[in-house]
Amino acid sequence: MSARRIFARPARFAAIAPYVWMVLLFLVPFAFVLKISLSQTVIAQPPYEPVFDLTAGRASLEAAFAALSIDNFKLLVSDDLYVYAYVRSLTVAVTATALLLLIGYPIAYGMARLPTRWQAVAMVLVIVPFWTSFLIRIYAWINILQHDGLLNQILLALHLVSQPVVWLSTDSAMYIGIVYSYLPFMILPLYATLAKMEPALEEAASDLGAPPWQAFWLVTFPLSLPGIGAGVLLCFIPIVGEFVIPDLLAGSNSLMIGQTLWLEFFTNKDWPVASAAAIILLVVLLMPLLLYERLQRRQLEQGR
Amino acid sequence: MRKRSRLSRFNVASLALGLAFLYLPILILVIYSFNASRLVTVWGGWSLRWYHEFFGDRAMIEAAWMSLKVAASSASIATLLGTLAAVALSRGERFAGRTLFSGMLYAPLVMPEVITGLSLLLLFVALDAERGFWTVTMAHTTLTMCFVAVVVQSRLGSLDRSLEEAAMDLGCDPVRAFVAVTLPLIAPAIVAGWMLAFTLSLDDLVIASFTTGPGSATLPIRIYSEVRLGVKPEINAICTLVIGLIAVVIVIASLASKLSSAQGESAAPL
């Protein structure tokens, strides 16, 4: 038996503790979400009617299954408020992801063309804001965007506007916040693919007479598609369920699904409806999630 | 040698604008935290007034202390579990349920926080667990161990495995080979993983809001409830302190990764 295989056996034992932890604190909780999404709302603590009681034997279990209700789901697909929230979440996520790609690509491209020594510095500079608190970064923008904030002061001083513009509680503020928060997630996978690319390819294209934009469009861009895929998924998925940014920066007249879930849970104390909303959100995200998982695994295998 | 610089003017401009976009808002926040004036519009000179105010605010200090405790404990447990998971995934070859295992480790990286938070809360309620320090710590551990696993796993993947094999050919048993050879080589990645877990926990609002109980608010929860009411100079001061703390953490993490590249291997990608 090779040393490698002997090593593998105890390495497998290392999986036990994290495996048990993830099953208990990641997988099992989803069963609870599913269960509660199927139960009736009651005004009590906790505010739902237990669907089944495992200690009471088989008969009660069967009775419980008969009592399962999909009322919460019916409510969520029939009430305009929720349908609108899902549509809005997807619209916001698509728009924001497109903006991120548009802004992030030139930055990643510039990074990849830096001399090697500077590339590492640029990468650290892009990662550092990701380490500083998310909430703080949003708060920084509230400072800038508020009625008498810096942006309005500058605009007034330059005579670009005659009176302060309302920025807070608008969609523009929300998009600024989302782009600002997720930009590193878009730049890093793009940069990773662009930096690996052979510079000779683009040079060959220009030696053969292609103007720079054509060399880029016909050679660099198609080769960077895997990075685009990873960046888009990495941004799109969490943005759909985003709560803090729309809550602090966008207006309260149109909600995203993360906000309605939060509202149902904390304000209306309707746990079953909140759970049902979470299930639907998860189903909506399942396709991109699986896609992301496959991409991630392929990248890890390539890196090996 | 390259014929000419590959940087076009467009490249330079987009880099400069991009970095300005990333850093200016934070810089402005830090500068305004030293503003003596209560009004954001008016620059009243440099002052430490809002820092005094923060240190006199008992509720804020308690929340900050709670956050630091949660971050340190959850990061430590997450580092242990995440490293074990990374070892199993990169060295365990095939084992039963491996796909499920790696799926469970990747999903929380992109799962919307509202879902993770809600599902963990429902679990804690079903178990009738008292909500507070431990429930938040466990919730954060669940999220951050996945990040640790990714960081450590990429380091393990770039490691030359013949080193482990040599140690075993020389008579080490696998556990001893791991402790004597592998562990020192991946130590910088483990340190970086701990730092990442620590800052993620310190940063989290949504999961903490779901899983904490009355009377044990974390710093982001307090900041959030203040921010909803509008801009307050005191918040600028708190944010600046948090940024300072995180800057220290980043410096330590980058020193650790420099140490790892000094060992003749490529630095663990973060």
Residue A134 touches chain B, beta carbons under 8 Å: yes
pLDDT at residue number A45: 56
pLDDT, chain A, mean: 83
Is the pLDDT reported for residue B53 higher than 50? yes
Q: Chain B, 106-135: which have a CB under 8 Å from a chain A CB? A: 106-108, 110-115, 118-120, 122-123, 125-126
A140/A192 Cα distance (integer angstroms): 29
Residues of B in contact with A135 (CB under 8 A): 203, 205, 220, 223-224, 227
Query: A26 or A129, which is more confident?
Result: A26
Query: Which chain A residue lies closest to B149 (C-alpha atoms)?
Result: A18
pLDDT at residue number A179: 94
Query: Which chain A residue lies closest to B6 (C-alpha atoms)?
Result: A113
Is the pLDDT reported for residue B270 higher than 50? no
Structure confidence by residue, pLDDT tens digits, A148-169 = 788 888 888 888 888 888 888 8
Residue B4 touches chain A, beta carbons under 8 Å: no
pLDDT at residue number A48: 65
Residue A6 touches chain B, beta carbons under 8 Å: yes
pLDDT at residue number A239: 92
Residues of B in contact with A107 (CB under 8 A): 14-15, 18
Q: Strand, coil or helix: what is B232?
A: coil
pLDDT at residue number A143: 83
Structure confidence by residue, pLDDT tens digits, A215-247 = 888 888 888 888 898 899 889 988 998 888 999
Residue B10 touches chain A, beta carbons under 8 Å: yes
* Beta partners for residue A48, in sequence order: A41
Residues of A in contact with B103 (CB under 8 A): 293
Which residue among A14, A153, A293 sits closest to B87, beta carbon to beta carbon? A14
pLDDT at residue number A187: 92
Residue A180 touches chain B, beta carbons under 8 Å: yes
C-beta of residue B31 within 8 angstroms of C-beta of residue A150: no
B81/B204 Cα distance (integer angstroms): 20
Is the pLDDT reported for residue A292 higher than 80? no
Assign B63 a pLDDT band (cuts: 50, 70, 90). very high
Structure confidence by residue, pLDDT tens digits, B68-91 = 999 999 999 999 999 999 999 888
C-beta of residue A143 within 8 angstroms of C-beta of residue B40: yes
Type of residue found at B81: L
Cis peptide before A212 (omega within 30 of 0): no
pLDDT at residue number B2: 45
Range among A110-114, A235-239, A256-260, B136-140 rated most confident: B136-140
C-beta of residue B231 within 8 angstroms of C-beta of residue A142: yes
Q: What percent of chain B has pLDDT over 70?
A: 92
Mean pLDDT, rounded, for A14-33: 90
Residue B165 touches chain A, beta carbons under 8 Å: yes
Q: Chain A, 71-100: which have a CB under 8 Å from a chain B CB? A: none
Mean pLDDT, rounded, for A4-27: 86
Mean pLDDT, rounded, for B156-171: 84
Query: Which chain A residue lies closest to B97 (C-alpha atoms)?
Result: A19
Query: Which chain B residue lies closest to A129 (C-alpha atoms)?
Result: B22
Largest CA distance in chain B: 72
B202/B140 Cα distance (integer angstroms): 9
Residues of A in contact with B161 (CB under 8 A): 4
> A25, B142: Cβ pair inside 8 Å?
yes
- Residue whose structure tokens are 């739902």: A48
What's the token pair of residue B16? 């400069």
Residue A199 touches chain B, beta carbons under 8 Å: yes
Helix (H) or strand (E) holding A137: helix A134-145
What's the token pair of residue B170? 């020389």
pLDDT at residue number B142: 96
Residue A114 touches chain B, beta carbons under 8 Å: yes
Residue A243 touches chain B, beta carbons under 8 Å: yes
ipTM summary value: 0.84
